Structure 1
Amino acid sequence: MLQQIVSHTPIYVWFILAFLISRGVAASADRDVTMRSLVIIPAVMLVLSWLDIDNKFGVDGVVGASWVVGALTGAGLIWRNFDNASIAYDPASGAIRLRGSWMPLALMMAIFCTKYAVAVLVAVLPAAREHALFVVAVCVVFGMFNGAFLGRLACQLAVCQRAIGTVRA
């Protein structure tokens, strides 16, 4: 069965996996980024997640609310545990220095594996889309993943904002 699942996986999925791995490995090293590049991955993940949820279940009522609850939970967990030393911002040059971390790779792989498993499950058992507990659980988990990205971005932007405030004061 595993061979059938893998052989029926569209080729673009493997390209997405390769891209995510390359981005995650790049994030493991210290690097300088722009404000724009800081926002790109969280924004892309947000849009893709929301479109995927809408495509699989719709985003009305409980589905959308479950995703939002998950997103707020994920963002809150990151906000509470964020390491401010993982980022430095130089307002004069606009350079953002990020300390390398394997967390983005782990998060992207968790999202990929979860999305893959849900896609396989829905393909094999289409009736799963009708089970409220399954739908709510999937939406909360996807929301938590996106919340983690958004929470990390919010923390990074807060560090940058504090650096700008320190320069002005």
Structure 2
Amino acid sequence: MGTPERRNVQTPKPRKQSPNTSRRIRAVSRHTLSFCRKPLERGGSRPEDVRHRTHSLIDTEPAAMFTAILLQTPHWVWGVLAALAVVGFKQTLPRRRSLGSSTTLPLLMAFLSLYGVMSAFSRQPLALAAWVAGGAVTLLLAQTLRVWGEIRWLPQERSVLMPGSWLPLVLLLGLFSVKFAVGVALSITPSLAVDADFAGFAGLVYGAFSGVFLARALAVWRVVRQSMQHDAAY
């Protein structure tokens, strides 16, 4: 009886990461992704440097680049996200607020939205125009649809009755996501700060959120004014 023939079984070698991929991941890590990205200063990076950095980052594997973005994000950004989530969850319950406190949050978020546009796209005026247009459209829609129509003024307690709603939480997290995405995009491709299409789109989205926030502040003021006029008439 013969000896069975031995077969050479090759053990698959572990797949090594290519040198190009490693360099691309390190290139992403070198970029500090800030929450509020400032536009390019005059006389900053040369166009050829920007193009080289842009192509290097675009060609990076999506999973590796996404991981690098999360690792390079400052820790205080996640603190801001947690704070916004807490504030948003509190808005889901009915509560009594003073006139000042009930309008502070929407006005503050609208201001931060405008600041985000002005700080990121200061050299692209189309962004500001798009912000105004987006805000005007959503402000008009929110008033027409009476999005904040359940707000009530309590004259005996001199306070505003704010109904519970999930909409403020969605708006807060949505605005954070837009600001974070714009910051990441500008960190990877700084030339987008002067790109008309990108600046216009970002300004439009920022303005859309601002319009809904401003509609809430106007709804509070309208309810208080109408209640006071009614009391004065009687």
TM-score (norm 2): 0.68
SS at match of 2:152: strand
Percent identical pairs in the alignment equals 28
Name segments (4+ residues, structure 1) moved above 4 Å.
none
1:52 aligns with 2:116: yes
Equivalent in 175, 184, 193 of residue 120 of structure 1: 184
Pairs within 5 Å for 1:77-156: 77-83=141-147, 85-156=149-220
Does the C-alpha gap of structure 1 residues 162 and 82 become closer, same or farther in structure 2, counting only changes over 3 Å? same
Does the C-alpha gap of structure 1 residues 84 and 146 become closer, same or farther in structure 2, counting only changes over 3 Å? closer
Q: Cα distance, 1:73 vs. partner?
A: 1.1
Equivalent in 63, 70, 77 of residue 6 of structure 1: 70
The structure carrying a bigger helix percent of its residues is 1
The answer as to whether partners of 1:53 and 1:59 remain within 8 angstroms in 2 is: no
Alpha-carbon distance in structure 2 between the residues aligned to 1:83 and 1:55: 30
Q: Please identify, of 126-135 and 28-37, the stretch whose mean Cα deviation from structure 2 is larger.
A: 126-135
- Corresponding residue for residue 74 of structure 1: 138
Q: Please identify, of 19-28 and 55-64, the stretch whose mean Cα deviation from structure 2 is larger.
A: 55-64
- Corresponding residue for residue 158 of structure 1: 222
RMSD: 1.6
Alpha-carbon distance in structure 1 between the residues aligned to 2:192 and 2:123: 16
- Corresponding residue for residue 33 of structure 2: none
Alpha-carbon distance in structure 2 between the residues aligned to 1:114 and 1:81: 24
Deviations 1:17-50, CA, capped at 9 Å, x for gaps: 0111001100000000011111211222122222
SS at match of 1:86: coil
Pairs within 5 Å for 1:5-24: 5-24=69-88
Q: Please identify, of 96-105 and 57-66, the stretch whose mean Cα deviation from structure 2 is larger.
A: 57-66
Does the C-alpha gap of structure 1 residues 62 and 40 become closer, same or farther in structure 2, counting only changes over 3 Å? same
Q: Which has the higher contact order (CA 8 A, sep 6+)?
A: 1
The answer as to whether partners of 1:82 and 1:152 remain within 8 angstroms in 2 is: no
Q: Cα distance, 1:168 vs. partner?
A: 1.2
Q: Cα distance, 1:59 vs. partner?
A: 7.2
Q: Cα distance, 1:63 vs. partner?
A: 2.4
TM-score (norm 1): 0.93
- Structure 2 gaps of 5+ residues are 1-64
Deviations 1:71-107, CA, capped at 9 Å, x for gaps: 1112111111125652110223311111100000001
The answer as to whether partners of 2:153 and 2:224 remain within 8 angstroms in 1 is: yes
- Structure 1 gaps of 5+ residues are none
The answer as to whether partners of 1:84 and 1:159 remain within 8 angstroms in 2 is: no
Alpha-carbon distance in structure 2 between the residues aligned to 1:85 and 1:126: 42
